[in-house]
Copies of this chain bind each other. A is one copy, B any other.
Amino acid sequence: MKNFNFIAPTKILFGKNKVNELGNEIKQHGTRVLFAYGTGSIKKTGLYDKVVEQLTQAGIEYFELDGIKPNPDISSVREGIKICRENNVDFVLAVGGGSVIDCSKAVAAGVPYAGDAWDFLMRKAAVKNPLPVGTILTLAATGSEMNGNSVISNKETGEKRAFGDDSLRPKFSILDPVNTFTVNKWQTAAGTVDIISHIFEQYFTPDKGTFVQDAIAEGIVNTCVKYGPVALEEPENYEARANLMWSSSLALNGLTGTGKIFGDWATHDIEHELSAYNDLTHGAGLAILFPVWLEYVLDEIRAIKIARMSRSCFGVTDDDDMQAAKNGIKAIRNFFTSLGMPATLTEVNITAENFDHMAESACRFGPLGMFKKLGPQQVKDILNMAL
């Protein structure tokens, strides 16, 4: 187990009608709020009205940033920063899924920064004294509600990049599983794959002696395997939605990565290239890529860990590690497919056209991955295998 520091101070307010505590929570941090949300689904579900009621009752002045899209663009970030500066905003409230939260964090980081916010993504600037952020989560997937990470796209340059800092961890996150009842099958499935992928990225590393972290990780994956299908069939099953929602936060708040290197993250990096170039749901991209990546990196050493996950969470019983790993990868693929996720890039109309550029771009800061290092050629191999 490696040395580590761990701090996950986000206050979680979990359960039915927890939005009723919003006003009191915000008042502990600010009085002039940027209210950030997506393309309007919160207006249909009535959540928008509840938020406005809470803000009004608490005497909080608010300014809206709406229209934040999936794979949020740097242009939304810039717009949010402008609104904050013009109105002396001192708190950012994100109401939505990972895209809205990620955009809000970038806004929060950008307001006190003199340069352009894209600098954070290009590793040209460090986050310093960001505005405090709070969230109301409406999609169980990214884990952004309990960590300091943010993924932002740049349409102009065709890039999708991540940055993060502990100071960007939300002060509070309101997790009401009822707010995910209206999430459709596709997004529910993609969210479930996303949660599992976050565990995988931190689980499949060369680290030794991290038994407790890995055991917790397996518990979270088992939760997704159990409840993903239930949420698809019964979208208003509170138990399923609640277990997936709490899993999403715990899968990427740093807990299962303690005592390890930062994680592998090659698959995420490759997926970011895919969804930067194509209109592809992040979780769907991961569903296509992860089994391919596992197959690609599988060898005698890496089989041990893949076999452990396969036996613990995917019903594999083979004693031989290599055989267990192979059967596990098949079982993982089958599970993703059973959720309605695609298995190949061809299914989502992605061709090899931009693979060269994607592979180069993915590796622009150096080789990807920790479980196994991947250069541009290996990334291209994986993309080709995924066709």
Q: Does the CB pair B259–A14 fall under 8 Å?
A: yes
If A219-B212, A219-B215 touch, does A3 touch B14 (CB 8 Å cutoff)? yes
Q: Complex: how many Å from CA A177 to CA B219? A: 25
Stretch in contact with the other chain, from A152-160, A239-247, A294-302, A369-377: A239-247
Residue in B4, B10, B239, B246 whose CB lies within 8 Å of A14 = B4
Q: Does the CB pair A5–B1 fall under 8 Å?
A: no
Contacts of A222 in B (CB 8 A): 211, 215
If A223-B215, A243-B211, A259-B242 touch, does A12 touch B7 (CB 8 Å cutoff)? yes
List CB contacts (< 8 Å) of A84-134 with chain B. none
Whole-angstrom distance between the Cβ of A336 and the nearest chain B Cβ: 20
Q: Complex: how many Å from CA A242 to CA B14? A: 31
Contacts of A242 in B (CB 8 A): 1, 209, 259
User: Is A366 positioned at the interface, with any CB of B under 8 Å from its CB?
Assistant: no
Residue total for A at the interface (Cβ-Cβ under 8 A): 43
Contacts of A223 in B (CB 8 A): 211-212, 215
Q: Which residue of B lies closest to A7 (CB)?
A: B11
Q: Would you give the 0/1 interface string for A210-221, flagging 1 where the beta carbon is closer than 8 Å to chain B?
A: 111101101110
Q: Which residue of B lies closest to A244 (CB)?
A: B212
Whole-angstrom distance between the Cβ of A206 and the nearest chain B Cβ: 15
Contacts of A212 in B (CB 8 A): 219-220, 223, 243, 246-247, 250
Q: Does the CB pair B13–A5 fall under 8 Å?
A: yes
Q: Does the CB pair B9–A14 fall under 8 Å?
A: no
* Chain A contact residues, CB within 8 Å of chain B: 1-16, 18, 177, 208-213, 215-216, 218-220, 222-223, 226-227, 238-239, 242-243, 246-247, 250, 255, 258-259
